[in-house]
Amino acid sequence: MKFIRNAPVTDMRLTYAKNSPQHLNVLIIKNGLYQVHLQEYVMEKKDKIILVTGVTGLQGGAVARHLLKEGWRVRGLTRHPQSAEALALKNAGMEIFEGDFEDITSLDRACKDVYGVFSIQQPLEYGVETEVKQGKAVVDAALRANIKHLVYSSYAGAEEQPGVPFIDSKWEIEQYIRKSGLNWTIFRPVLFMEYFLMPEIKQQIQNGHLRIALDSEMPLQLISVDDIGALVCLAFDNPDLYVGKALEIAGDEITGNQIADILSKVSGKTVSFEQIDVDDVRAKGADFAMFFDWLNRKGFSVDIGGVKKLYPEISSFKTWAQKLNWPQAAS
């Protein structure tokens, strides 16, 4: 690989260059200089495959789209290869691979000839015990395939073990990854902005209300799934800067009243915030009640300024909501 430019380095931060020839400058620290790899690096990526698990979900789909955009070969693992989401990604240039976390043989086949793996599991459908089992199975498959870089999507607050089952479970997977001997990067995103596109929440917004078990002036940190995809792509593009790092990520910190105000402006209808009792959430699921209990007591504490240094284009809630063409998104 040819170095294009050398220059003194003053800190270890990644720089993001939207208008550079291939969108991203890769910084490698060597002998007090940073070296920017340009076209040669892009050519190298074309020969490397990233396996994206959960590719038909929100995070997996966002990761796949960013990787494709940046020139990686992408293989998407899914149980539903004929789904609309899978077919759309296939049409965009991704290889669709039918497989299942519970089928070790299919995991091994999916990992064949792969450079990196993006790993994410879904605890809500099968429970946290199955989530942990599946997360460990991906690690084991990556080891057998001699994967060079595993990127895992955890959850903000996991290291603190807040007593929320679907957060605590991710810490167990994190610990397994750390002990595996793999080159790893862990991202811990906060609550998704896409939470406000869930059918129940969208219906509330249409009716002029936003009912959440959160104090109206309690700051809530949020991130868009598209920005998670962009950050995961940065990690694969820049292993020297990201391997061995566990990073909590968020794009905005905003109160319930501020969220309602923004939704009012982008939707064209008045939306008022209403705090509901956590017991109302408990009736729908104990895990979510524990989650909102924790949010009200302590919640997320991501250094958003630090995240913006890594990725300056990360979306605020207002920017995210304005991009949606909200009347259609909320219909």
CA 152 to chain centre: 9
Using CA atoms of 166, 172, 173, 177 in order, give the dihedral in degrees to the nearest 10.
160
Which tokens hold the place of 78? 């899914």
Residue with tokens 């340009």: 38
- The pLDDT value recorded for residue 150 is 98
**Is residue 113 a contact partner of residue 106, using CB atoms and an 8 Å limit?**
no
Asked whether residue 2 carries a pLDDT value surpassing 90, the answer given is no
Q: What is the pLDDT of residues 240-255, one digit of tens each?
A: 999 999 999 999 999 9
Q: What is the pLDDT of residues 35-67, one digit of tens each?
A: 444 444 454 788 899 999 999 999 999 999 999
Q: What is the pLDDT of residues 186-236, one digit of tens each?
A: 999 999 999 999 988 888 888 999 999 999 889 999 999 999 999 999 999
Residue with tokens 């039918």: 98
Residues 6+ apart with CB under 8 A from 88: none
Q: What is the pLDDT of residues 95-141, one digit of tens each?
A: 999 999 999 999 999 999 999 999 999 888 889 999 999 999 999 99
